[in-house]
């Protein structure tokens, strides 16, 4: 059900409704899982969260991992997302409803986090960084950071570019 809702939002954004006034501020994240030509490919584990300047976590947005393995065995590799594991992962009992979901295939993935109605919760005004960390079984690890200020005064389009485990990262802030 959750997946259906996020797909609906994605469609809305793609159709150009993003500029329409919304009741609440929102963070939209478009993250690219790169297609890799490697002998053994596993979809990466990906975590995204919002960090305060002291590196404490203001909001845990999403965690993609192998949720389908029996006996919750997929949790064994959560620690490979080292920063996420350190900042919050090790304090959570995965899976967490609304936060964790299955790993995703190569391609672009859109997620929307309306304030007050998603894992974003409500953010106090201030400086933050949106962090995306990816770790792939028998592959590498990559971490991207996008600094931003909250609440956004106007619509903002922020970008970062991954080099191996992540592709383009686009963060859209809607006031």
Partner 1 sequence: MIKMPFKTALKLTAVAALVAVPLGADAHRAWLLPSATVLSGSDNWVTIDAAVSNDLFYFEHMPFRIAGFPQIRINRGGQQGGGQMAGAAPMGGAPAGGAPMGGGDPTPPGGAPSAAQLAIVGPDGGAVEAQNKAIGRYRSTFDVQLEKPGTYRIATTNAGLFASWKENGQTKRWRGSLENLAKEVPEKADDLRVTQSQGRIEVFVTSGKPTTDALKPTGQGLELDPITHPNDLFVGEAAKFRLVFDGKPARKLKVTVIPSGIRYRQNLQEMTLETDEQGEFSVKWAEPGMYWINASIQDEEGPGGRTPRRRANYAATLEVLSQ
Residue 73: φ, ψ to 5°? -65, -25
Say whether residue 167 binds partner 1 (CB under 8 A).
no
Q: Which stretch in 20-28, 67-75, 120-128, 160-168 sits in contact with partner 1 by CB under 8 A?
A: 67-75
CA distance 155 to 6: 20
Site string for partner 1, 12-41 (x = CB under 8 A): ------------------------------
Under rule CB under 8 A, which residues in 85-144 are in contact with partner 1? 85-86, 89-91, 143
Q: Which stretch in 16-24, 29-37, 75-83, 99-107 sits in contact with partner 1 by CB under 8 A?
A: 75-83
As given in the structure block, the two tokens for residue 87 are: 């900042």
Residue nearer to partner 1 on the CB measure, 43 or 141: 141
CA distance 43 to 136: 6
Say whether residue 163 binds partner 1 (CB under 8 A).
no
As given in the structure block, the two tokens for residue 142 are: 């990559």
Say whether residue 72 binds partner 1 (CB under 8 A).
yes
Say whether residue 77 binds partner 1 (CB under 8 A).
yes
- Cα-only R_g, the chain: 16
C-alpha distances out from residue 68 to 65, 73, 79, 100, 151, Å: 9, 9, 18, 11, 37
CA distance 35 to 168: 12
**Cα angle vertex 150, ends 158, 26, to 5°?**
70
Residue nearer to partner 1 on the CB measure, 30 or 136: 136
CA distance 114 to 98: 14
Under rule CB under 8 A, which residues in 137-156 are in contact with partner 1? 143
Say whether residue 82 binds partner 1 (CB under 8 A).
yes
User: Smallest distance, Å, CB 40 to partner 1?
Assistant: 21
Contacts to partner 1 by CB under 8 A: 71-79, 82-83, 85-86, 89-91, 143
């Amino acid at each position: 059900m959750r997946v259906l809702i996020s797909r609906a939002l994605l469609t809305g954004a793609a159709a150009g409704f993003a500029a329409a006034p919304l009741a609440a501020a929102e963070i939209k994240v478009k993250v690219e899982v790169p297609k890799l030509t490697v002998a053994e490919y596993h979809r990466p584990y990906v975590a995204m969260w919002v960090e305060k300047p002291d590196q404490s976590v203001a909001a845990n947005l999403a965690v993609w991992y192998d949720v389908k393995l029996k006996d919750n065995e997929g949790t064994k590799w959560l620690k490979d997302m080292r920063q996420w594991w350190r900042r919050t992962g090790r304090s959570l009992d995965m899976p967490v409803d609304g936060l964790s979901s299955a790993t995703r295939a190569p391609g672009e993935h859109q997620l929307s986090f309306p304030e007050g109605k998603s894992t974003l919760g409500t953010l106090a005004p201030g400086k933050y960084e949106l962090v995306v960390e990816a770790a792939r079984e028998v592959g590498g690890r990559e971490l991207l950071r996008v600094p931003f200020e909250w609440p956004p005064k106007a619509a903002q389009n922020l970008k970062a570019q991954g080099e191996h485990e992540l592709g383009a990262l686009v963060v859209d802030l809607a006031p």
